[in-house]
């Protein structure tokens, strides 16, 4: 079974440009999460999808960030326009229905560098 | 608000020596507790988790963790470290099982010396 995949693995863009990150969860996982780790800080939650619906987007930093999950499969996270402080590693995770084996499976992350 | 503290940013341990990584959490009730590991170029891998029951939890790769309610701690241990254990370790909590977000500590980087 394939794990969570993320694309690209690394992106370098200039301030003011747009970047779109993609996450493909484990097949059949309804829950999809985005997290971000800024250098030197902890990994922080951005938002949570259940299928195609946003369950919780309380961690989204501002309206320059737009997440979508059309059809309840893969998800994209767009940053427009990018700012220097958006640099960091963006992780995606997915999980199946919550229960006693609750576990979030993480992808390798996308390292975003805004110059 | 809930928080997780990993007091050690970087630890160096000799190969074959024992390891303990500290984790303290701040939450009124007993949260769901996790330890993840991230090796270079890899995603976060779950080492073990605690939901309830026996407070000593066994995980993969020979790791274990002990939940101590009185100390709000969930320290990770391994009796004998291998060079391949060099990685970054994250403690995390969730307040329930209903698909809520994980709250992470800042991570502890483990180096293993020969």
For the stretch B71-93, pLDDT in tens is 999 999 999 999 999 999 999 99
Confidence of residue B99 (pLDDT cuts 50, 70, 90): low
Residue of B nearest to A108 (CA): B43
Preceding peptide of B47 cis, ω within 30° = no
Q: Copy the structure tokens of residue A79.
A: 């940053």
Q: What is the DSSP letter of A80?
A: S
Q: Copy the structure tokens of residue B80.
A: 């004998």
Q: What is the pLDDT of residue B40?
A: 84
Number of independent structural domains in chain A: 1
CB A23 within 8 Å of CB A77: yes
Predicted confidence (pLDDT) at residue A69 exceeds the cutoff of 80: yes
Structural domain including A86 reads: 5-22+31-97+105-114
| Contacts B42 to A, Cβ<8 Å | 108
Mutation site, B1, B23, B42, B43, interface A, largest A CB count within 10 A: B43
CB A78 within 8 Å of CB A20: yes
Among A95, A102, A107, the residue with its CB nearest the CB of B32 is: A102
Per-residue pLDDT, averaged over B65-74, amounts to: 94
The topology (CATH level 3) of B3-113 is Immunoglobulin-like (2.60.40)
Q: What is the pLDDT of residue B53?
A: 86
Strand-pair partners of B65: B57, B76
Q: Is B52 on the interface with A (CB under 8 A)?
A: no
Closest CA to B100 of B37, B41, B27: B27
- Compute the distance between CA of residue B36 and CA of residue A105 in angstroms, rounded to an integer: 10
CB B89 within 8 Å of CB B21: yes
The verdict on a CB contact (< 8 Å) between B104 and A98 is no
Q: Residue holding tokens 């999950």?
A: A69
The CATH number assigned to the domain holding A77 equals 2.60.40.10
For the stretch A38-58, pLDDT in tens is 988 999 999 999 999 998 899
Triad B96, B100, B102: Cα angle to 5°: 95
Residue of B nearest to A37 (CA): B106
Q: What is the pLDDT of residue A98?
A: 64
């Amino acid at each position: 079974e394939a794990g969570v995949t993320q694309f690209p693995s690394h992106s370098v863009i200039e301030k003011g440009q747009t970047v779109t990150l993609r996450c493909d969860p484990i097949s059949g996982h309804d829950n999809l999460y985005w997290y971000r780790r800024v250098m030197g800080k902890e990994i922080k939650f951005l938002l949570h999808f259940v299928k195609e619906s946003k369950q919780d987007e309380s961690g989204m930093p501002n309206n320059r960030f737009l997440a979508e999950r059309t059809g309840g499969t893969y998800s994209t996270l767009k940053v427009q326009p990018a700012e220097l402080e958006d640099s960091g590693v963006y992780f995606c995770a997915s999980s199946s229905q919550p229960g006693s084996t609750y576990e979030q499976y993480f992808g390798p992350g996308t390292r975003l560098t805004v110059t | 608000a809930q928080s997780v503290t990993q007091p050690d940013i970087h630890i160096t341990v000799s190969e074959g020596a024992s390891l303990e990584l500290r984790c303290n959490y701040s939450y009124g009730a007993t949260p769901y507790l996790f330890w993840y590991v991230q090796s270079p170029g890899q995603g976060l891998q779950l080492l073990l988790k605690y939901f309830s029951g026996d407070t000593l939890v066994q995980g993969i790769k020979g790791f274990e963790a002990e939940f101590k309610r009185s100390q709000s701690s969930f320290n990770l241990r391994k009796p004998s470290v291998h060079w391949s254990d060099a990685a970054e370790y994250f403690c995390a909590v969730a307040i329930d099982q209903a698909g809520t977000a994980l709250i992470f500590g800042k991570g502890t980087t483990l180096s293993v010396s020969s």
